[in-house]
């Protein structure tokens, strides 16, 4: 996996790697140790209970009775201002505007905590491609030649081979296909290793999955999904946030929440007049 710093993270080089290279990059130096500690403390506080939350690609864990070893924390924007800063970091915004269009949105921001002994996931691709194991439900000719997704993982714990750093198959993003047993994912995969504060940025059609945590410590990260403005987001974040948050949202946060994009709209009740077109 190619590695960049906050200073060397050139959007052109990163986008070339996402589309035509391995499909994933690492960026260091975006977040301070204090910011990571603050985010981690909030995630720990909200994931101490073992109550199950909705999760994905964990069928084997459910069968083995180990879902309690993977804990999700949803609606992070409402749980601490640090998560707004992470989601709208200027360097990430610069890269993603070039990758997904200047008015891109955020589809989800959540934490994933895998405790020691926690199993890995099913190899998969991410939203909105994530149910491509049912290709008949998607349009003919659907492909990954232009991006409709970017994923950012902000590491809160050491991501090592032992702790289950995300596994991925470099180059698998070049053909949109859901991985199957015949692809021998676990024989071919590399891992997105890194230290707390590092960011893994990858194109969501790259085959990937969380690996089993065989370490003696947690393996936690903030997972942020970004989408073009016209893709239906996975989380209804505005509905989960208080009015005060929405009223005081920064311009970048309003964009990320999709508040600047009016559709779907009840057009029979919309303001009269021409609203689209070059002139």
User: Using one digit for the tens of pLDDT, what is the confidence trace for 205-224?
Assistant: 999 999 999 999 999 999 99
- CA distance linking residue 53 with residue 127, whole number of Å: 18
pLDDT digits over 118-169, tens only? 988 899 999 999 999 999 999 999 999 999 999 999 999 999 999 999 999 9
Helix (H) or strand (E) holding 137: none
Q: Are 203 and 150 in contact (CB under 8 A)?
A: yes
- Buried/exposed code over 102-141 (b: 16+ C-beta within 10 A; e: otherwise): eebbbbbbbbbbbbeebbbbbbbbbbbbbebeeeeeeeee
- CA distance linking residue 68 with residue 65, whole number of Å: 8
Q: Which two tokens stand for residue 196?
A: 């707390």
The total domain count for the chain is 1
* pLDDT score recorded for residue 275: 81
Where in the sequence is the domain holding 252, given as residue range(s)?
2-269
Q: Is residue 102 part of a domain?
A: yes
Q: Is residue 123 part of a domain?
A: yes
* pLDDT score recorded for residue 60: 60
For 15-38, what is the mean pLDDT? 98
Q: Which two tokens stand for residue 264?
A: 């779907």
Report percent pLDDT > 90 for the chain.
84
Q: Is residue 231 part of a domain?
A: yes
pLDDT category, 66, cuts 50, 70, 90?
A: low
Q: Residue 14 burial (CB < 10 Å; 0-12/13-18/19+)?
A: buried
CATH of the domain at 139: 2.60.120.620
Q: Is residue 206 part of a domain?
A: yes
* pLDDT score recorded for residue 68: 76
Q: Residues 6 or more apart from 167 whose CB is under 8 A from it?
A: 120, 123, 185, 186, 189, 190, 191, 192, 208, 209, 210, 211
* pLDDT score recorded for residue 273: 86
* pLDDT score recorded for residue 272: 87
Q: Is residue 67 part of a domain?
A: yes
Q: Is residue 29 part of a domain?
A: yes
- In angstroms, the Cα distances linking 269 to 126, 242, 243, 265 are 35, 25, 23, 8
Q: Is residue 73 part of a domain?
A: yes
Dihedral sign for Cα atoms in the order 67, 113, 154, 172: negative
Q: Is residue 274 part of a domain?
A: no
DSSP-derived pairing of the beta strands 2-5 and 24-28: parallel
């Amino acid at each position: 996996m190619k590695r960049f710093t906050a200073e060397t993270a050139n959007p052109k080089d990163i986008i070339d790697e996402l589309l035509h290279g391995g499909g994933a990059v690492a960026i260091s130096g975006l977040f301070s140790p204090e910011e990571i500690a603050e985010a981690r403390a909030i995630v720990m506080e909200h994931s101490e209970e073992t109550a199950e939350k909705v999760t994905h690609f964990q069928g084997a864990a459910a069968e083995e009775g180990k879902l309690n070893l993977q804990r999700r924390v949803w609606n992070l924007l409402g749980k601490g201002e640090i998560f707004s800063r992470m989601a709208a970091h200027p360097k990430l915004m610069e890269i993603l505007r070039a990758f997904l269009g200047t008015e891109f949105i955020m589809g989800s921001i959540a934490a994933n905590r895998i405790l020691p002994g926690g199993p890995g996931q099913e190899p998969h691709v991410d939203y909105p491609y994530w149910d491509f194991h049912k290709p008949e439900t998607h349009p003919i000719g659907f492909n990954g030649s232009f991006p409709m997704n970017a994923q950012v993982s902000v590491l809160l714990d050491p991501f090592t081979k032992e702790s289950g750093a995300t596994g991925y198959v470099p180059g698998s993003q070049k053909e949109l296909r859901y991985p199957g047993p015949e692809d021998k994912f676990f024989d071919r995969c590399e891992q997105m290793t890194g230290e707390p504060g590092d960011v893994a940025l990858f194109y969501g059609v790259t085959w990937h999955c969380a690996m089993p945590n065989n370490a003696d410590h947690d393996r936690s990260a903030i997972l942020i999904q970004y989408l073009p403005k016209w893709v239906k987001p996975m989380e209804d974040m505005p509905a989960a946030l208080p009015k005060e948050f929405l009223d005081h949202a920064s311009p970048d946060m309003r964009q990320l929440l999709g508040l600047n994009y009016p559709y779907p709209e009840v057009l029979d009740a919309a303001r009269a007049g021409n609203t689209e077109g070059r002139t």
